[in-house]
Amino acid sequence: MKQDQGVLLESGTNELEIVEFRIGTHRFGINVIKVKEILTPQPVTKIPHSHQSIEGIIEIRGEVVPVVDVAHALGLASSEDPQQDKFILSEFNQTKIVFHVHTVTKIHRISWEQIEKPSKMYQGLETQITGVIKMEKGMLLLLDFEKIVADIHPESSIHTEQLRELGERERSQKKILIVEDSGMLRVMLQETLSGAGYDNTVSFEDGKEAYEHLKALLEEGKSIEEEYQLIITDIEMPQMDGHHFTRLLKEQEEMKQLPVVIFSSLITDDLRHKGEMVGADAQVSKPEIVELVKIIDHHIL
C-alpha cells in the first residue's frame, strides 16, 4: 500500500483512517497519515551496540531508514511466521522510521469519538497506548509511536536544554491552554514552557475536554481572550482531534481571535494545508520547541 495524499480525509471532520496490524494475536493501529508505505521485509544491516529494539537499517529509494522491532519494543514474542511479516514505513517528527510488524490486515475509517482514552487503572504515565477502539470482534489499541521512538532515542523528544539558544528569558503572566493526550508530553511541554518563562499553563487531554471548558467559561459570562492568550494543540487525540477543535474555535465569534498553534508530529509539507484549512494561526512540528516558543512570543508578548 502506498499512501495516496489525494484521498486524505477532509480537514476538521474529526475522522481518521487507521491501519490495523498485529503482533502475534494482539491487534494494534497506526494513523494512516503517518504511513508512507507498507513493504515486504528486506535484509537489514545490523548496527553494533544499537538499542535492543532497533533491528538495524535499510535503504529505501536512496534514504537510510532505521527499523524498529515493534514486538521487542512492546515486550511481546517474536514472529512465528517471519515470511508473513510486514515493514510499515512511517514519517512523523520530521523523521522516517520503519516499524517491523507481523501482519497488516485492513484499514478502518472511524471518528475520534469512537476512540476511548485508556483507563487510569491500566494507563500509567509511561504507557505506550494512546487510545482503545472497540471493534466488532474485540478491541484495537492505538500505539503511541512517538513514545516508542522517544524510549529508543530520547534526544528526539522535547527538552528544556534546547532553549539555551534563546538566552535569558523574562517571566510572563500570559496564560496558555495546552491540549495534548500524551501524559508524558503534557508534562514535558509544561516544564519546557516554564523554562521559557511561561509558567501560567493549563492542560487538557483532548479537544473535547478543552472545548467544553471554553464553552463553560463563556456560559459564566467570561471573556475567553482575558482567560487565555494562546492555545497549543496536538492533532491526534481521542474524542476530538486538534483539527476539529481548531475549526470549532475559529467558527465562533467569541473564540476566533484566540491564537491557536498546532504542535504535532504530523506537520509535514503534505499535511500543512490541513491546519491552514481549519484556521490555525501557526503550525510547528514536534519536537521543535525553540520554534514553538518563538511563535508564542510573536503572538502574545
Q: What is the pLDDT of residue 292?
A: 94
Q: Are 133 and 139 in contact (CB under 8 A)?
A: yes
Rg (CA), the chain: 20
Q: What is the pLDDT of residue 276?
A: 93
Q: Are 192 and 219 in contact (CB under 8 A)?
A: no
pLDDT in tens, 95-138: 899 999 999 999 999 988 888 887 765 554 447 788 899 887 78
What is d(CA 50, CA 228) in angstroms, rounded to the nearest whole number?
Answer: 44
Q: What is the pLDDT of residue 5?
A: 40
What is d(CA 265, CA 261) in angstroms, rounded to the nearest whole number?
Answer: 13
Give the residues of the chain that fall short of pLDDT 50.
1-8, 124-126
What is d(CA 20, CA 239) in angstroms, rounded to the nearest whole number?
Answer: 19
What is d(CA 109, CA 276) in angstroms, rounded to the nearest whole number?
Answer: 23
Could you check whether the bond before residue 287 is cis, i.e. omega within 30 degrees of 0? yes
Nearest of 301, 236, 230, 238 to residue 275 by alpha carbon: 236
What is d(CA 164, CA 82) in angstroms, rounded to the nearest whole number?
Answer: 46
How many residues can be counted in the chain? 301
